[in-house]
Chains A and B, each alone.
Chain A
């Protein structure tokens, strides 16, 4: 337990005589950093599982016929991919791994406000995961991750209840984390750490937590109603029982659209940190980036209807949701412009985290722009429920969230483990992921506009070329994801010791040792400067000391 460890000792060290006590020290830890590591391992496990399901889907789609899987198996594969990736990877990944590790360190606190609640959240996550996995083991579920009624409530004969129980429990894990962040950021900032001195990752985590706490209960209630209808035949969504099937979509997207921002906002936060550090410069337009996160959090609640333009929603509702969707594009654009302006007169280095950050901007711009296409109802009518949508949300979620997560993981890896990873392999993997990703998903925009519907097991011949292209890109992408696992693991034993601040970054987390001591700060720091206060002469010093052969 954290309380038995010496405050000054690294959080990874133990004086546990037996294996059992070592296991206990990890599984009963209330140290936010150890919980982050527990999350890191379990969330990455789920990512690999979801990736496996995607691999099966992409292999099946190489030919127009259904030759590898039966249609039922195919439907179960894409449903498993969606449920695992959305609920057990994308939503928790940045808050639960990077957020858990960094929020207390960045604001100068010794832990989160409720350390035991934090541990509970990991157990809830695991419990939800076990439910969802057992659903897959006992025959799978074939509703798609969206669980549309009345298919899911009356017609599907797969493990719907087990799966939504998993998502339901996982929701409480999110709420616990969100609540913890909000209270921590409000009450536990170090002296002098005013709101406008907070690193932008904290602003983003704060906005995310607000969404989590406000939206997640809605999906919990919705899934509960679905279970009630499925188990006891109470008519809520099935018109044959007197219910309204479109009501389910309203409730579901009232959570699931903000959920997109739960995935991407923390990513914005990570990218702001990376760009500032590797340009060695205060972020351009700090207030605008901070407030655009809050604007996205607010507007994100008002656009759920854009998932339902062809669902029988009225013309007026369609117009209003379309209008607000256009507005939500603006704060995202503001962020991109401010990041670009930060490069101006910076002192830029091309280290792996920076490469991921630039990859993020590239992919997010495409994802964001195609979001405008989809927000225009007249075009949405043609491309909704086609591969255009599939490509769009992968650009935002994979191109956005995963690029940010990997960038952040590389950036804080030295802090978390005390070791440096291999920079050459890091650069290669960032490049391979960027190329593989575009090969996989760009052809899908074309497919979608041609009219190829999503969730199709067999498809007309004329779409094959693009599907083959997409599947071959997925192979490259898979390699790109496997390489970092290898060299990051390797670095744990062979990596160079990182030192406290290998990137010469400014945040409080870089002032403590790597890995940080159990209690983070032996003396709570007093903050006297703004975030990203790089000394003005740092850039000149860089240029003067740069020699051919220095790290790019």
Chain B
């Protein structure tokens, strides 16, 4: 019981604007919810049975009054809606260049992997002042990645990627919670988010650490400074790409059995049924695990499914590699 806060810390660029909107809503509620009880109390006393008040011509309805108390609240909630919608769209539109960190949720721990391949359990180190985008999936049930001090939360769903972004504004340690009930140790599935200066973050990235890998084995992941190695997630993914035999069909020059993947990520892909689709993480994921679902125009449905043959971890690496083949996908930091 050391401290007794009433408001959470503000540690991201979203925290301020969201708290302002929240404050305005609290204020409006106080005006409405604070005045109305006094009107009711006044009427209750004024027109109590014992009071000899003027009760002649009591109205049974009034269209102008009904319109007033319909239209005024309507205007207010619409104002609140548009304000909130504006903020929401911002929260769901990551900037062009972000630091991309992969997150895997499983019962009952968080596993994160940084662009240089460094991994963490139940912790997330992020630099201050840099937009960070989390690309998240779950190995089992639905979880939810929640950092109250950043005012961000996103469900982490098995079988697909969800993303969320934020920019930390303040160094420090903050709570990391799982917010979607996920079984026995749901309340222990959390840890801390450590926001640090960019130079500290880069130093931290370069220190090797031991972690438990998503498949349960533990390993020391040695890392080299990012600048020297480029993007190891993509490098490992590239190795997988040739080991699994993907490169045989998806040739870079486009002459293979399958379409070339160069420049694919982030662009519109034309499909055999005439429609187009944005090639995002979820599309890439689906095309690896269930290739027949969406066939690229001009190609036959011949690719075998890799469902069960690649782990969530490897899938993340493959996707990092495919993204590195496209301008839109190369992450900046």
Interchain CA distance A459-B22 in the complex, whole Å: 24
Known: A71-B187, A337-B69, A451-B177. A310 touches B48 (CB 8 A): no
Contacting pair B184 A279 (CB below 8 A): no
Known: A151-B183, A330-B70, A382-B148. A319 touches B88 (CB 8 A): yes
Q: In the complex, which residues of chain A have a beta carbon less than 8 angstroms from the beta carbon of B57?
A: 345
Interface stretch (choices B2-10, B202-210, B240-248, B249-257): B2-10
Interchain CA distance A529-B172 in the complex, whole Å: 70
Which A residues between 314 and 372 are near B, CB-CB below 8 angstroms?
Answer: 315, 318-319, 322-323, 326-327, 329-330, 333-334, 336-338, 340-341, 343-350, 358, 361-362, 365-366, 369-370, 372
The interface centre, meaning the residue of B2, B17, B177, B182 with most chain A CB atoms within 10 A of its CB, is: B177
Contacting pair A382 B58 (CB below 8 A): no
Contacting pair B141 A150 (CB below 8 A): yes
Q: In the complex, which residues of chain A have a beta carbon less than 8 angstroms from the beta carbon of B39?
A: 340
Contacting pair A350 B48 (CB below 8 A): yes
Minimum CB distance partner of B177 in chain A: A453
Contacting pair A451 B84 (CB below 8 A): no
Contacting pair B183 A288 (CB below 8 A): no
Contacting pair A385 B107 (CB below 8 A): no
Minimum CB distance partner of B188 in chain A: A458
Q: In the complex, which residues of chain B have a beta carbon less than 8 angstroms from the beta carbon of A229?
A: none
Q: In the complex, which residues of chain B have a beta carbon less than 8 angstroms from the beta carbon of A458?
A: 187-188
Minimum CB distance partner of A386 in chain B: B179
Interface stretch (choices A41-49, A257-265, A535-543): A535-543
Which B residues between 170 and 191 are near A, CB-CB below 8 angstroms?
Answer: 175, 177-188
Q: In the complex, which residues of chain A have a beta carbon less than 8 angstroms from the beta carbon of B188?
A: 71, 458
Q: In the complex, which residues of chain B have a beta carbon less than 8 angstroms from the beta carbon of A386?
A: 179
Minimum CB distance partner of A148 in chain B: B142
Q: Choose one: A310, A333, A347, A372; the contact of B47 (CB below 8 Å).
A: A347
Q: Choose one: A144, A370, A446, A449; the contact of B181 (CB below 8 Å).
A: A144
Contacting pair A540 B55 (CB below 8 A): yes
For residue A462, CB closer than 8 A to chain B, the reply is: yes
Interface stretch (choices A163-171, A239-247, A411-419): A239-247
Q: In angstroms, how far is the closest chain A Cβ from the Cβ of B152?
A: 7
Q: In angstroms, how far is the closest chain B Cβ from the Cβ of A474?
A: 19
Q: What class of interface size applies to chain B in its complex with A?
A: 35 or more
Interchain CA distance A542-B50 in the complex, whole Å: 7
Minimum CB distance partner of A361 in chain B: B40
Minimum CB distance partner of B137 in chain A: A239
Interchain CA distance A536-B89 in the complex, whole Å: 56
Known: A288-B66, A385-B180, A546-B49. A340 touches B36 (CB 8 A): yes
Q: In the complex, which residues of chain A have a beta carbon less than 8 angstroms from the beta carbon of B83?
A: 376
Known: A279-B47, A464-B1. A378 touches B162 (CB 8 A): no
Main SS of the interface on chain A? helix
Q: In the complex, which residues of chain B have a beta carbon less than 8 angstroms from the beta carbon of A12?
A: none
Contacting pair B155 A312 (CB below 8 A): yes
For residue A457, CB closer than 8 A to chain B, the reply is: yes
For residue B51, CB closer than 8 A to chain A, the reply is: yes
Q: What class of interface size applies to chain A in its complex with B?
A: 35 or more
Contacting pair B61 A285 (CB below 8 A): yes
Q: In angstroms, how far is the closest chain A Cβ from the Cβ of B60?
A: 5
Interchain CA distance A378-B88 in the complex, whole Å: 5
For residue B78, CB closer than 8 A to chain A, the reply is: yes
Chain B residues packing against A (C-beta within 8 Å): 1-8, 17-18, 21-22, 25, 29, 32-33, 36-37, 39-40, 43-44, 47-62, 65-66, 69-70, 73-74, 77-78, 80-81, 83-85, 87-89, 91-92, 107, 140-142, 144, 146, 148-149, 151-155, 157-160, 162, 175, 177-188
Chain A residues packing against B (C-beta within 8 Å): 66, 71-72, 75, 142, 144, 146, 148, 150-151, 154-156, 238-240, 244-246, 279, 281-282, 284-288, 310-312, 315, 318-319, 322-323, 326-327, 329-330, 333-334, 336-338, 340-341, 343-350, 358, 361-362, 365-366, 369-370, 372-373, 375-379, 381-382, 384-386, 446, 449-451, 453-462, 464-465, 539-540, 542-543, 546, 550, 552
With A284-B59, A310-B144, A346-B58 already in contact, 11 other A-B pairs whose C-beta atoms are closer than 8 Å? A75-B183, A155-B107, A315-B88, A337-B69, A365-B33, A376-B25, A385-B180, A450-B5, A457-B186, A458-B188, A461-B2
25 contacting pairs across A/B (C-beta < 8 A): A71-B185, A240-B158, A245-B159, A322-B88, A327-B77, A330-B70, A334-B66, A343-B43, A346-B58, A362-B37, A365-B32, A369-B33, A376-B25, A377-B88, A378-B17, A378-B88, A379-B22, A379-B25, A379-B84, A381-B91, A451-B177, A456-B187, A462-B5, A542-B49, A550-B49
